[in-house]
Amino acid sequence: MDFDTVMFGRTLVVAPHPDDEVLGCGGTLARLASTGAETHVAVVTEGKPPAYSADAVRIVREEAMRAHAILGVAETHWLGLPAAALAETAHATLNASLLRLLSHLKPRSLLLPFVGDIHVDHQLIFASALVAARPHQEDFPQLILAYETLSETNWNAPYLTPAFVPNVYVDISDELERKLEAMQCFASQLRAAPHERSVETLRALATLRGATVLKRAAEAFVLVRQVC
């Protein structure tokens, strides 16, 4: 059995918006699925009118489902909270939504957006996920990691918000092409290089993170908690 399966076990990735999970840890999802680990993605928000049309919401959901199929995700959970409006949503509502899901799935590992991301949705989801994962419960995640999201993690204010300084790396040398294939499913979200939300930039980041630990490609995380 691969060490990934042992360490991660059933894994839940919490994505503020569709495609965050692919940008941040698509290669890790693919690697875990290939070793037999059960992987889940929770997409917390969706676009609401009038800012988002029903067609736009449908398109991005279909894109996500195609991407998740490529990555071997066992199940996608749509929580349906308002995109770009979590700051106006009662924090207890977000807490309860994530707590219900964690209580149901009982994941061993939880992968979250980084608290220092520029998007407020990411910041609030990180905090609420930690509330839902508090270790006073009978079942709580043994491993919590924060992932980086291109165009969110790197666009914050240096020295004013937490810096993403990774201390966990997952080798995705064999999964990089599958991650990029999954990202290309998000035609509505992709941008042309040198935009951070481009396939070329995603490959470059994976190469850089891999070089840090002498691998051809890697995804980087900040360790939040690990119980051994």
Return per-residue pLDDT of the chain as tens, 228 residues.
456 667 899 999 999 999 999 999 999 999 999 999 999 999 999 999 999 999 999 999 999 999 999 999 999 999 999 999 999 999 999 999 999 999 999 999 999 999 999 999 999 999 999 999 999 988 999 999 999 999 999 998 989 999 999 999 999 999 999 999 999 999 999 999 999 999 999 999 999 999 999 999 999 999 999 998
Give the chain's largest Cα–Cα span.
Answer: 49
Instruction: Let me know if 118 is exposed, middle or buried by CB neighbors in 10 A (0-12, 13-18, 19+).
Output: middle
Contact 63, 22 (CB under 8 A): no
Please state which CATH number belongs to domain 3-223. Answer: 3.40.50.10320
Contact 201, 122 (CB under 8 A): no
Taking the model in full, what pTM does it have?
0.96
Domain boundaries, the chain: 3-223
